[in-house]
Amino acid sequence: MKTVCVFCGSSAGRDPSFRLTATAAGSAIARAGLSVVYGGGKVGLMGAVADGALAAGGRVFGVMPRSLVEREIAHAGLSELHVVETMHERKTRMADLADGFIALPGGAGTLDEFFEQWTWAQLGIHSKPCGVLNAKDYFGPLISMIERIVNEGFMAESYSKMLVIEASIEPMLKRFSAYSPPAHKW
């Protein structure tokens, strides 16, 4: 594993601890010798992840649609900024650059990006680890919903267990390094 993709909010949220978690995550990824790929923004948790990784000497690759770059929300200090035309291109480029995916707190965009990668892993499109950094139990209700999806028979338990769920980044990165995907559904 060389590069971890982080999906997270373009907002910092109300609780300052989320920003601290994002900064620490970026820093820990860099200290582990890994690069970060993310949405390219200077704002919210996205900017905090990038700042944390850069401050720790890491490489950070941003991927952002031109329309957002033109609104001047791109992070100016990145190792590389990949400018694409659409959100679909953004997600594809991030997936191509990454060896694993982590969701930090965020909104609908975060969930969309993360769920797409988790679905692709279930379908065998890739065999990269997908993790949820459950800071302050932010994803607790989502984890309960995933358990219900399994219990109601809409997903095999092996696909819920393929998610790496941790409250802090260091154990998540350790589990990523030992990750082995389940047998493919098809």
112-160 confidence digits (pLDDT tens): 999 999 999 998 999 999 999 999 999 999 999 999 999 999 999 999 9
Q: Which residue has the tokens 């389940």?
A: 182
Mean pLDDT of 174-183: 90
**DSSP summary character for residue 3:** E
pLDDT of residue 109: 95
List pLDDT tens digits, range 69-81. 999 899 999 999 9
User: How far, in Å, CA of 52 to CA of 134, rounded?
Assistant: 18
Q: What is the pLDDT of residue 181?
A: 84
Q: How confident is the model at residue 184 (pLDDT cuts 50, 70, 90)?
A: low
Which CATH number fits the domain 3-177, given the four candidates 3.40.50.720, 3.40.50.450, 3.40.720.10, 2.60.40.790?
A: 3.40.50.450
- 7: closest CA among 22, 27, 29? 22
Q: Where are the alpha helices (DSSP H) in the chain?
A: 16-31, 44-55, 66-70, 87-97, 108-123, 140-151, 157-161, 169-177
Cβ–Cβ under 8 Å, residues 100 and 34? no
29, 23 contact by CB (below 8 A): no
Mean pLDDT to the nearest integer, 39-46: 97
pLDDT of 91 above 80: yes
